[in-house]
Each structure stands twice: as C-alpha cells, then as structure tokens.
C-alpha cells in the first residue's frame, strides 16, 4: 500500500483539494466530507500513512498534511454556512403566512363622548395655566344663586329651572358657576380656574337634558380686562376648532358677570357660509362670558376695588353635538352601545 | 317678544333695512331675529266692492259675484256664506300671490271662470279666521292696494330679551335703543297728537283711591272714561295685537293691551258699575278668596297685594283682574288702571299662585314708573277714538317716589375694565344717548342718573356696561392675560378620575353616563342600604325621584337596555357622584363602578366564576396603577355584604387596610328584576377614598446583584381549600420566596374526587449570594411541610 514517495503523494493530494468545486447543496457537501474527512477518506488515509514516512521527510510531510486538512475543513465549514443560509432564505421566501388573521390582544373600550370633549377642553385651558377645580352637585341656594348676584325673587332665576331636594336645604346646581365662589373662598386671589362638571335643570327635549355638563372658567387678578377675556376665548376656539375659527361677542345678561356677553364662534360646519345648523347665520352660540361682577367678588371675600376678573361658561353637550354631528341630546344618556362604540 | 317693524317705525325714523335693524339691536344685547317678512306679499290684492251676488249654475254651495275692483267689473266665484252685495272686500286679482303660497290664476270653478278670489283673513295671513270673507271699511276705494290701507306688508321680529331689560318690553323701549345706536330722535306717533293736551282734571267724582301698601304699589293711577260702546276694535288694532300674539277681545280691552305692547306698562279696565265705594290697594287677608277673569278661584295668602273696593277684591295687583269687575258687552263706564307694582312682590304673588301673565311678566321685570301716565293716556285715547268714550277725571296716587340714584363713574375705570382707550367725552356721549343725566366733575368723575325706565342700573359697573354696549364689543382688542401660577396638588380628583377612566378603557370597558336620579324601586330591589337617599322635590319624570346612592342601578339598567338591543358581551363603567343624607344634609361621594357580563356562562351553573377573577384582575391593575399600592380583597363581614351580590362571590376592595370599594357577582334574583338573565360581575369603588390612599412616588431600589431561581410546584388539596390562604402560607415559609404565582388550577379525574390541584411558579432570591439547587430544595421542603400541616396539601405526583 505504501507509496514510494509519500511527499509526492501529499503534493498531488494538495493539488487536488485546492481545486475542489464549492458544494452546491447538502448532498454534495456530505459526499465531500465522506471522500476526504471520513474514516476511509483521503485525508484519514494519508495521516495513517504518516508513520511510514522517513524521518527526514517527516517535517515537510506533516506541514503538507496540515495544509490539506485546513483546506478541506475550511471548505466544508464555508459550505455549511452558505448552504444553511440559502436554505433559510429559501424557506422564508416560500412560506405561507396569514397576516390577515385578526389581532388577539383584548379590545379597548372607549371614553364617553362627553368625557372626551370635556377632557379636551380642560386640557386646552390647563395648558394656558388654569387649574382644575370641582364643586358639589348638590348646592345651597346661597352658592348657586345669591352669592352669584341672583337676588331672591329675581326673574333671572327663571333662566334656570331648578331641581329642589326634599328635607335638606339644597338644590341640584343649575350651573358650574358656584365653583367661582367656592374656589375664591378657598384660595383667594389671584386665581385662574377651569371647573368641569355635571349640572341639572328641570327641562327635557331634543336639545335639553335634565342633566348635562358645563365647564366654567375664570381668572381673578389685578388689571384683568375684557380684552383679556376675548383673547383667551379666541385662543381657545383656535385650539379647539382650528386656526380659522373666529369669535363674536354680543352683549347679554348673566347676573354674575358685567359686562356680560354671549359668545358665538364662526360656524365650524359650513365655514361661516351659512347652513342648517347655524340657521344660515354663519355663527354658532357656544358660550356665555363676562367680567366678574363686583358683587360676586365681594360675596366671595375678594375686594372688588383691588381685584377684577373674567368668567365664562360653556355647555359640553352643545360642543359635543356640533363636533360629532349628534342631533338629539338624549343619545348621550341612553348609553346605547351602538352609539358609544362610535367614539 | 314679538315686534312689528311698522309699529316701531311709528316711533322712530331709523332708516335701517330690517336685517340691519336686527343686527344693530343684537349688537346692543337685544337678540333680534326676523321671523316673518311680508313685504311684497300682497301685490295685486286690492279693495273690491261687491256689486251683485247670484247663484252658481252648477253648484248650490257657491255663488257668483260681480265685483268692482277698480276697472271692469269682474266675475268671481265665492264660497263664503257671508258674501253680500254692497260689501267692501279684499280681492286677490289674477297674478297675486298670497302669504300662504297660493298663486292666483284665471281658472274655472265648476264650469264658471273666476277672475280672482275674495279673501278671508286666514287667506291673507292675518288671523286664523276662515269661516267667511273679510269685510272691510266702506270708506276704502275700489282698486286701492290693500297692503297700504291695512299695513299688511309688515316685518315681524322676535326679540329675545334678557331678564334685566324689562324696559324693552314695549315698542317705545326698543325705539329708545334704536335711537341710542343710530342717533335718530324718537318721534311722537300721530295718535298721541290727538291725545287731549290739557291734563285731565284731578280726581274722579264719587271714587276715592287709597294705597295702603305703598311697598307693593308705589304708584297707582285711575282714569275715568264714560260712555263707551263695546265692540270689536278696528282692523289695524286687531292686526297689531294678533301679530304680537295677543287675542283681540273688544275695543276697550284691546286698548289696554295695545298700550301695554306699545309702552311696556300693563293696564287694566274695570267696569265702573262693579266698584263699590273707593279703590283700595291693600294686602289680602289670609284665606281671602279671589276669582280671576279666567274663572279660576284662588285662596290668597295674607298680604298678597290686591286692588279692592270697599267690599271685595277687584284685581290681583299686577297679575290679573277679577271676574267680578271686568269689561262686559254692556259696559259703558270704565275705570282705567295704570300703575307701578313692585317687581319682587309681584313675582312672589305670581309664583305662589302659579299664575304668570303678560302683566306680571312686565311688572316683575320693572316697568317705567314715569311711563304710567303715558300708557294711561294712550289707552284712553284709543277708547275715545274707537269706542266713543269720554275722558273724565284722573287720580294719581304716588306715595313712594321711585328715584334712580346718582352713580359715580371713576375716571379711567371703564377703559381699565374693558381694555380700551376711552376719554370722558366719549363716556358722556354714550350715557347721554341712553338717556342718562350726567355731570362731569372737576376730579374727572362722571355722576350719572339713569332714566326712570332703567331699573337695572345700580352701580358703576352698570354704567361701564352701557358704555361697552354703545362702544361695541367688537371694538375691544384681544389681549392675553398672564395667568397666576398654581400648584398641581390642587387638582387631584379630576386627574385621578381621568387616570382611572383611561385604565378602564384600556381594559376593554366602555364609559356610560347615566342620570344622577333613579327610580327608588331600582335601589329597593337591589337592597342597597348604604345611606338614606336624597329625595327630589320636583322631577322631570315621576319615576326618577331620588338621587342615586350607588352607580350600580344605572349601570344595570344600561346593561339591560343594551342586552335587549341584541348585544351579547358587555363591559361598561361609569364615574360620577352618588348622594346620601348625612346629619340633615346631603353628602356626596365620587365613585367609579364597572360592570361586565360573564361570557356565555349559564347563570347558577358556573363553578369557577372565571369572569369574577378577570374583573378582580382588572380592579387590581387599576388600583395598583392609580394608587401605587397593591390592593387587598378581604371577605366582608355578614352585615357589610351586599344583598344584590352572591353571598360567596363578593369581596371588599381595600388599600392599606382601608376599604375603598367592593366587587362581586350580581345575584340572579336581582339581575332578574332588571331583565338581565346572564351572569354579571361588578365593582364599585370610591375615587375620593382611592385618592386619599395614593402612595408616594416610588423610590428606585438597586437591581439585585445575585440571580434567583425558579421552581414549579403543584399541590393537591381539598376542592374547598381557598388558594388565597395557601399562597399566604407559601409566602410565609421562607423570607427568600419573592413571588408565588398560580398558573394552573385542575379538578378533573386525575387528582381524584373532592380534590383539586393548584400549580404555582415560585421565585426565590437571596440578596447576599447566589442560591444553589440545594437552597431551592430546602425551601420547597419547608413549603410542603407547612402546606401539609395547614391545608392538608400533598405534592402532586
């Protein structure tokens, strides 16, 4: 079996392995592995023959054998990586996967549209620096009316049909304005407050609900002007309705402010061109406002000669009806899932 | 208030188109809209003279008429029963269009061509009268345009007056505002030129007037008119009354209403026959009975102001006249009352009796005490013109002069509040235009006295508002204030509500908003006993009569409603106040409640109550996130248990030992009342209590330096053993047990009858060193030992 010149044989084997073709797949790779590295493979055979090599040629033969082994093993390793990579790419390329199956995370619920609008408005005013304050829904006549400059037996009380309670000297508050008094009594001046909450009036039809939501806002400070009120509300409608929204002030009457105003916003549905919702006027009445009446400041323990302020109040349902195109206020309180799911 | 343009024009030449007029008034605070514009609506409607009336050849019910409408006689078919030769009538010629939309064409009626139509008041849009044609004054010439004769082409406005502007509840009041904004001078209408200029004689012979209650009646006038002949008012008067929403009655009563609509001062006409002795303005005696014009009898409270004679009440002062002394068809002599009644007292009477009238509405808002005489003169003039009356004596009792106080306007104050530059000259101009008497002091202070009709002017701020109205709100420049700073700790509850709501929404719950008032039956059926409910005195709906003490009834109603609509799986929540009586007062608490249906699980049959635990997990998440603390779910003592929940499927929700709520599964019998026939679990917790228990912001702890080890262990226990106790025992077995999580619960055949298997994943950690397998084995051994002792648990093989 022993060759006459082992070195020659090694040289010839080296030549052979250096020009081996790169295996294309696992089958060729296995064949290559068996042919050279297997128990009876060429590399194994020559290494077994090393013991017959004369001592003088041993170093060279050893070096050659190592070179051959490295070459074959390197080839096998590179081929393994390459073949595996090709297989993975091929599998990924050809797989079937149904990405259209529905997601499996639990579904979200939703906030009530009234809460959503209320929070949005509160956020706008919070961002300007107003602090959020709440007040009780069962109120005394003193806070709901008298301290707000509604004298007893004043016809202005007819503007707000009141729910009275039995066996207790309270009513359900008809507006969020009592928070003005409560906050001033609690914190004094200066103060900037936004007060969201439920209010009640004994009235029910398509546009009136016996329970609804208001937001009251007011600022008490030195040198507050009606111009500040206009500027603040203009900034609000821009944030809420967009850059093009404009406001219009019309003189009106609320006992706790003077001068008092109704505030209209340019109709957001028709771009002030005139439509069914704005009754072709181009304007939508959205809030009442004015300068805090000196009697209100006095009633809340704030000196009207040192301090002044403005206040405004708006009805959330009205804004939500406009925003979402809801035409019957009762939908908000029926809690029909077919309605709630839309928000 | 309805306002007629033609009537207003009688008092002022403003030169404004109707839409501009509405805009100007609105900009002054009198919100005005055009409701009807009849201009041009009566083209080709003319006066006609009925020349002859004859039968229709083809019909019995209708007739043929010949009418002179200014040109050739016309043949007109007419169905009205009252048509007669010699009448002067309103004819809609061919080509006319009427307010009801009808267009006149030449057309055949039962075979005869009709060249127009003889109109009824209804067809002309003047009144609802349609039973016959309208018969006009014979003085009108044939062919004359009807609209100019009868002032039909009017424009009607609706003026939405705020309660402070009682002075504008008449044509004169609106004219004053128009004058102020346009600078035009109000004029005196032609009618008044005909008012006899010498003041009527002082005193009425045979009739004394005594005001005993000057508080309620600061001014009372009586005017004698004799010899009236009661009949319908002329067309023009009736049309104006109708247009303003008042039903014409007769030429005497109409005169009082007309004068009221014109001046804003209500009046009343008594038939002199029924006044015995003197007129006395006095307080009613307690229980005194009085029957008003409309036949209703009231028992009066002591002191309610009454116009009386020496024997009986004649009128409820400022509210309504009596049935015993009103104008009758045979009335000839009148005592005309014009007065100033106190707003507050009038309102109190009107409210207490539940009797609101055009008159009380105006007195409550304050009429012009100096306008009383003018109103009386106008009505008197109309009674002489239209009813043939003769003006007699006049009494003016004015025991309590109403004197507007002078008010000071400090220099620069108006500009400072409005945020505009205003010089005193401008301020004086504005106030003067509005009828204020002003003095400009050397110190720059304006002293202004309001005209007598402006009861709403009481202080400096009122003057500033008047200045602002005339200056124009649109001329106030927009500025932004620098807001005072505050500390966010003031905002706790609202922020917490939003946080809790967001967590619930993310857990799949939909927010509902229910009324705060409920039907007491709902509460009773649920056996809700926490606190006495607050009852409502008046309500929108007979059933919703008390304030809710819990959010649960409303949510159950909502659930029930939606199940009826075909919904199957529902998760709902609500946040809001609940109310109860506490020590004679009402107390409120801010709550959140959630409710969900239990999958498709059959009521009564559920063994595991999986949805109870799902909800428990949601509640734990919400409390943990919102209060930064792990909640506990303790069993409630018997008397704290909710009757509307399953006895064993309910627990409290506690934070640091304080109960803040409860949760459980709704009892099937309670659910049944609400027509809910599947499992429902719910929770309710107090947001106020949650807020009070919020933990401090966490302080970061170092990450453990040594790794821990995980072990799983399954225990077999009696099926009535509670997992909570076993977990507690396990956690107590060794300080190094950091977590114990149940991951499987099995009670099938493999563990044997009456038994169940609980599988836990445990996590052990030692802060000082890396744990070994042996450490783990030791801990497991001590757990098993304790679990066996306390719960009879054995390791599942």
pLDDT digit string (tens) for B326-354? 999 999 999 999 999 999 999 999 999 99
Q: What is the C-alpha to C-alpha distance for residues B83 and B114, in angstroms, rounded to an integer?
A: 15
Q: Which of B19, B476, B567, B597 to mutate to test the interface with A (most CBs of A within 10 A)?
A: B476
User: Is residue B602 predicted with pLDDT exceeding 80?
Assistant: no
CB B370 within 8 A of CB B340: no
Mind giving me the DSSP string for B339-391? EE--HHHHHHHHHHHT---HHHHHHHH---GGGHHHHHHHHHHHHHHHH--EE
Which residues in chain A have Cβ-Cβ distances shorter than 8 Å to B540?
202-204, 210
Which residues in chain B have Cβ-Cβ distances shorter than 8 Å to A261?
473
Rounded (5°) CA angle A170-A173-A175: 155
pLDDT at B407: 97
Which residues in chain A have Cβ-Cβ distances shorter than 8 Å to B165?
253
Which residues in chain B have Cβ-Cβ distances shorter than 8 Å to A136?
588
Among residues B474, B549, B229, the alpha carbon closest in space to that of A250 is found at: B474
Q: What is the C-alpha to C-alpha distance for residues B257 and B269, in angstroms, rounded to an integer?
A: 10
pLDDT digits (tens, 9 = 90+) for B749-775: 888 889 999 999 999 999 899 999 999
CB B764 within 8 A of CB B779: yes
Q: Quick one: CA dihedral A157, A160, A166, A168, positive or negative?
A: negative
Task: Provide the number of CB pairs (under 8 Å) joining chain A to chain B.
Answer: 248
User: Is residue B606 predicted with pLDDT exceeding 50?
Assistant: no
The band of B6, judged by pLDDT with boundaries at 50, 70 and 90, is very high
On whether any CB of chain A is under 8 Å from the CB of B570, the answer is: yes
Q: Which of A188, A335, A341 to mutate to test the interface with B (most CBs of B within 10 A)?
A: A335
Given the candidates 3.40.190.10, 3.30.930.10, 2.60.40.730, 3.40.430.10, the CATH classification of the domain at A113-340 is 3.30.930.10
Query: Nearest C-alpha of chain B: how many angstroms from A246?
Result: 12
User: Is residue B795 predicted with pLDDT exceeding 90?
Assistant: yes
Cis peptide before B506 (omega within 30 of 0): no
Residues 640-669 of B with CB under 8 A from A: none
What average pLDDT is seen over chain B? 91
- B112: which strand partners? B109
The ipTM of this complex is: 0.87
Q: What is the C-alpha to C-alpha distance for residues B658 and B651, in angstroms, rounded to an integer?
A: 13
The band of B611, judged by pLDDT with boundaries at 50, 70 and 90, is confident
Which residues in chain A have Cβ-Cβ distances shorter than 8 Å to B536?
163-166, 172
User: Is residue B100 predicted with pLDDT exceeding 90?
Assistant: no
Helix (H) or strand (E) holding B112, with range, is: strand B112-114
Q: What is the C-alpha to C-alpha distance for residues B382 and B377, in angstroms, rounded to an integer?
A: 9
User: Is residue B65 predicted with pLDDT exceeding 60?
Assistant: yes
Q: CB A225 to CB B534 under 8 A?
A: no
State mean pLDDT over B475-489. 89
pLDDT digits (tens, 9 = 90+) for A97-112: 888 988 887 789 999 9
Which residues in chain A have Cβ-Cβ distances shorter than 8 Å to B477?
227, 230
Q: What is the C-alpha to C-alpha distance for residues B385 and B375, in angstroms, rounded to an integer?
A: 15
Distances in Å between the Cα of B14 and the Cα atoms of A177, A232, B6, B182, B790 are 40, 36, 12, 7, 98
Q: Which of B586, B587, B674 to mutate to test the interface with A (most CBs of A within 10 A)?
A: B586
Q: CB A115 to CB B511 under 8 A?
A: yes
Cis peptide before A259 (omega within 30 of 0): yes
- What is the DSSP pairing of strand B313-316 with strand B112-114? unpaired
pLDDT at B91: 93
Distance from chain centroid for Cα B614: 44
Q: Which of B463, B513, B573 to mutate to test the interface with A (most CBs of A within 10 A)?
A: B513
User: Is residue B605 predicted with pLDDT exceeding 90?
Assistant: no
Q: CB A338 to CB B565 under 8 A?
A: yes
Q: CB B498 to CB A224 under 8 A?
A: no
pLDDT at B202: 77
Q: CB B507 to CB A203 under 8 A?
A: no
Query: Nearest C-alpha of chain A: how many angstroms from B104?
Result: 31
Residues 267-286 of B with CB under 8 A from A: none
Q: What is the 8-class DSSP label of residue A208?
A: -
Helix (H) or strand (E) holding B780, with range, is: helix B773-791
Report the residue from A187, A211, A335 with minimal CB separation from B516. A211
Mind giving me the DSSP string for B34-90? EEEE-TTTTTTEEEEEEEEEEEETTEEEEEEEEEESSSS-EEEEE--TT--TT-EEE
State mean pLDDT over B147-160. 89
Q: Which of A110, A258, A280, A342 to mutate to test the interface with B (most CBs of B within 10 A)?
A: A258
Comparing alpha-carbon positions, the chain B residue that sits nearest to A309 is B417
Locate B164 and state its tokens: 């402070």
Which residues in chain B have Cβ-Cβ distances shorter than 8 Å to A245?
none
Q: CB A109 to CB B538 under 8 A?
A: no
Which residue ranges make up each domain of chain A? 6-94, 113-340
User: Is residue B713 predicted with pLDDT exceeding 90?
Assistant: yes
Q: Which residues of chain A have pLDDT under 70?
A: 1-4
The band of B190, judged by pLDDT with boundaries at 50, 70 and 90, is low
On whether any CB of chain A is under 8 Å from the CB of B490, the answer is: yes
- Which has the minimum average pLDDT: A10-14, B8-12, B436-440? A10-14
pLDDT at B201: 61
Mind giving me the DSSP string for B689-711? HHHHTPPPPPPP-PPPSS--EEE
State mean pLDDT over B583-597. 89
On whether any CB of chain A is under 8 Å from the CB of B476, the answer is: yes
Report the residue from A107, A131, A249 with minimal CB separation from B473. A249
Query: Nearest C-alpha of chain A: how many angstroms from B428?
Result: 18
């Amino acid at each position: 079996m022993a060759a006459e010149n082992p070195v020659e044989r090694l040289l010839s084997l080296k030549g052979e392995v250096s020009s081996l073709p790169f295996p294309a797949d696992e089958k060729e790779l296995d064949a290559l592995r068996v042919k050279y590295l297997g128990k009876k493979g060429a590399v194994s055979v020559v290494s077994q023959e090393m013991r017959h090599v004369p001592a003088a040629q041993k170093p060279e033969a050893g070096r050659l054998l190592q070179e051959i082994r490295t070459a074959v093993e390197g080839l096998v390793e590179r081929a393994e990586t390459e073949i595996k990579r090709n297989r993975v790419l091929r599998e990924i390329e050809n797989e079937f996967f149904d990405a259209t199956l529905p997601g499996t995370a639990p579904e979200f619920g939703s906030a009530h549209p009234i809460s959503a609008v209320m929070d949005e408005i509160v956020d706008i005013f919070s961002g300007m620096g107003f602090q959020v304050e709440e007040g009780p829904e069962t109120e005394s006549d003193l806070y709901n009316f008298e301290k707000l400059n509604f004298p007893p037996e004043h016809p202005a009380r007819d503007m707000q049909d009141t729910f009275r309670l039995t066996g207790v000297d309270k009513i359900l508050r008809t507006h969020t304005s009592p928070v003005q008094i409560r906050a001033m009594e609690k914190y004094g001046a200066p103060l900037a407050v936004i007060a969201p909450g439920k209010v009640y009036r004994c009235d029910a039809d398509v546009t009136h609900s016996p329970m609804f939501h208001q937001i009251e806002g007011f600022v008490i400070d030195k040198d507050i002007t009606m111009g500040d009120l206009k500027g603040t509300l203009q900034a609000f409608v821009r944030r809420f309705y967009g850059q093009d929204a404009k406001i219009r002030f019309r003189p009106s009457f609320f006992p706790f402010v003077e001068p008092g105003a109704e505030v209209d916003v340019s109709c957001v549905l028709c771009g002030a061109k005139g439509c069914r919702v704005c009754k072709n006027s181009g304007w939508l009445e959205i809030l009442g406002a004015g300068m805090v009446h000196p009697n209100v400041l006095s009633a809340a323990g704030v000196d009207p000669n040192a301090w002044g302020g403005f206040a405004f109040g708006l009805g959330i349902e009205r804004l939500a009806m406009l925003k979402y195109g809801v035409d019957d206020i009762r939908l908000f309180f029926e809690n029909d899932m077919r309605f709630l799911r839309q928000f | 208030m309805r306002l007629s343009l033609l009537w207003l024009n009688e008092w002022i030449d403003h030169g404004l188109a109707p839409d501009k007029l509405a805009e100007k008034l609105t900009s002054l605070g009198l919100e005005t809209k055009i409701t009807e514009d009849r201009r041009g609506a009566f083209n080709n409607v003319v006066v006609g003279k009925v020349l002859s009336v004859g039968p229709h050849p083809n019909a019995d019910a209708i007739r043929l008429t010949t009418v002179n409408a200014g040109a050739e006689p016309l043949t007109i078919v007419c169905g009205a029963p009252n048509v007669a030769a010699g009448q002067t009538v309103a004819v809609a010629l061919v080509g006319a269009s009427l307010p009801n939309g009808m267009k006149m064409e030449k057309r055949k009626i039962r075979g005869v061509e009709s060249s127009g139509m003889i109109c009824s008041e209804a067809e002309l849009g003047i009144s609802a009268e349609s039973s016959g044609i309208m018969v006009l004054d014979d003085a009108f010439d044939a062919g004359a345009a009807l609209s100019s004769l009868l002032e039909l082409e009017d424009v009607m406005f609706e003026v939405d007056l705020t309660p402070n502007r009682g002075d504008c509840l008449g044509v004169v009041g609106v004219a004053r505002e128009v004058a102020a904004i346009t600078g035009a001078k109000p004029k005196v209408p032609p009618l008044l030129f005909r008012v006899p200029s010498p003041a009527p004689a002082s005193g009425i012979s045979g009739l004394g007037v005594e005001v005993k209650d000057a508080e309620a009646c600061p001014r009372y006038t009586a005017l004698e008119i004799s010899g009236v002949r009661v009949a319908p008012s002329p067309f023009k008067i009736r049309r104006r009354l109708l247009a303003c929403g008042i039903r014409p009655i007769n030429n005497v009563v109409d005169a009082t209403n007309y004068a009221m609509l014109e001046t804003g001062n209500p009046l009343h006409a008594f038939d002199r026959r029924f006044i015995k002795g003197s007129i006395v303005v006095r307080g009613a005696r307690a229980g005194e009975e009085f029957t008003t014009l409309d036949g209703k009898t009231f028992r009066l409270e002591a002191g309610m102001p009454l116009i009386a004679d020496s024997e009986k009440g004649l009128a409820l002062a400022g509210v309504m006249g009596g049935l015993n002394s009103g104008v009758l068809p045979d009335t000839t002599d009148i005592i005309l009352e014009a007065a100033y009644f106190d707003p507050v007292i009038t309102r109190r009477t009107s409210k207490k009796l539940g009797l609101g009238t055009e008159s009380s509405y105006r007195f409550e808002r304050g009429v012009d005490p100096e306008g009383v005489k003018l109103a009386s003169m106008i009505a008197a003039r109309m009674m002489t013109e239209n009813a043939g009356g003769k003006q007699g004596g006049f009494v003016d009792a004015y025991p309590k002069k109403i004197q507007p106080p002078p008010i000071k306007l400090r220099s620069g104050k108006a500009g400072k509040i409005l945020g505009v530059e205003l010089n005193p000259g401008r301020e004086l101009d504005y106030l003067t235009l509005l009828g204020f008497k002003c003095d400009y002091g050397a110190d720059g202070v304006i002293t202004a006295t309001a005209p007598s009709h402006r009861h709403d002017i009481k202080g400096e701020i009122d003057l500033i508002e008047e200045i602002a109205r005339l200056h124009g709100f649109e001329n106030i420049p927009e500025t932004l204030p620098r807001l005072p700073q505050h500390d966010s700790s003031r905002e706790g509850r609202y922020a917490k509500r939003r946080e809790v709501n967001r967590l619930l929404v993310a857990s799949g719950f939909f927010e509902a908003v229910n009324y705060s008032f409920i039907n007491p039956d709902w509460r009773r059926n649920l056996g809700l006993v926490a606190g006495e409910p607050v009852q409502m005195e008046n309500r929108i709906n007979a059933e919703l009569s008390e304030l809710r003490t819990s959010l649960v009834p409303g949510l159950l109603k909502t659930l029930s409603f939606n199940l009826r609509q075909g919904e199957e799986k529902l998760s709902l929540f609500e946040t809001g106040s609940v109310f109860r009586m506490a020590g004679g007062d009402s107390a409120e608490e801010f709550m959140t409640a959630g409710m969900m249906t239990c999958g498709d699980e059959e009521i009564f049959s559920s063994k595991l109550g999986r949805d109870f635990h799902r909800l428990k997990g949601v509640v734990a998440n919400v409390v943990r996130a919102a209060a930064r603390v792990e909640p506990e779910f303790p069993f409630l003592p018997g008397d704290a248990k909710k009757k509307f929940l399953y006895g064993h499927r309910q627990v409290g929700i506690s934070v640091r030992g304080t109960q803040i709520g409860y949760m459980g599964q709704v009892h099937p019998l309670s659910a049944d009342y609400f027509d809910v026939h599947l499992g429902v679990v719910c929770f309710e917790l107090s947001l106020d209590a949650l807020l009070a228990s919020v933990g401090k912001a966490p302080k970061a702890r170092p990450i453990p330096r040594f790794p821990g080890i995980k072990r799983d262990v399954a225990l077999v226990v009696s099926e009535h053993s509670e997992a909570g106790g076993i977990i507690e025992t396990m956690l107590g077995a060794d300080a190094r047990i950091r977590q114990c999580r149940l991951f499987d619960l099995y009670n099938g055949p493999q563990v044997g009858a009456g038994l169940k298997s609980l599988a836990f994943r445990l996590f052990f950690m030692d802060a000082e060193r890396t744990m070994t397998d042996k450490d783990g084995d030791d801990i497991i051994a001590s757990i098993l030992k304790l679990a066996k002792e306390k719960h009879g648990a054995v390791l599942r093989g």
